[in-house]
Chains A and B, each alone.
Chain A
């Protein structure tokens, strides 16, 4: 399958999951990601793989937890307000170190919100909506091609580190069609024989659990998890950079909001404004160190988001006051047009010069 096909983001994610070796899917319908479950229902039946229309997202994510605990490649997909329902189990999955793959095709919130795209679940994804100290691995695709590539990577990272991994897409990516290439699943298979539940044959019983039972054990468990998160950050932090070498201003965006900032950057450069781009591909771990390095060289950092300003706060933490950080945003709906970004950037620059 190395030729380009015109495909919708949701179908691309579904097919990529199959290519990655998906064995079990558990899900519940919600717009704008329902096509994933629809597509997989037929495809998995044909392949004699496990597919359950769960009674709720709560049940779906817990079925995922059960199936993943056997080492099976397992996925559920959902959207914003329903991913909120899954937070308890995600906290368990982190604590249990179970390789869950979860796709969140974001829609608008809070509450029931609206079915239009948004990026309002950044906090929910990277800070964790569940209880306790934990971190999921979060990948943010910006094109349908990346929906495929990062679905592959999500399966690999989830199993390599035994950590829940989320593909954080949004309704725009889920619903739009683009040419994309599937290729082969590019990662090695991860050996899970040392921990997966298979029945205690020829060995003692194994238990996957999160109960600390005493303070000492609980402290040990948390330090163990954070040692792992450190490793993930060292090995897997990923981002894309454009024209940062000579940039005076840096545009930072993730997911579908990055789609117009390249054109905006080119326009700005034509007008003599030296703009560069940094696009985090992993939102957790976040490219904090790289943003800090660049912040020492630029005057302004402008974060472009489809929410009321969430990633901007992680950027501010990374920048450590080295540069002025501003936000250009729209809470719901469309990515910003090139003109809107340019106008926004100019407004920020005017204000920041005025304040000097």
Chain B
């Protein structure tokens, strides 16, 4: 099933992915980073992810470490 894997340790909370996902499946998490910034999380209740990898393409920190189609 198409999905992504986010590595919280790589995420720097730039939130570029939030605007990039065409389905809006990435959102701010309630969890914070070491620096106190909200991290992001992937939530796909309705199996909307198509594995387009646009989020991974734009993530400057390779925090979206895997994309499956």
Indicate yes or no for A touching B, C-beta below 8 A: no
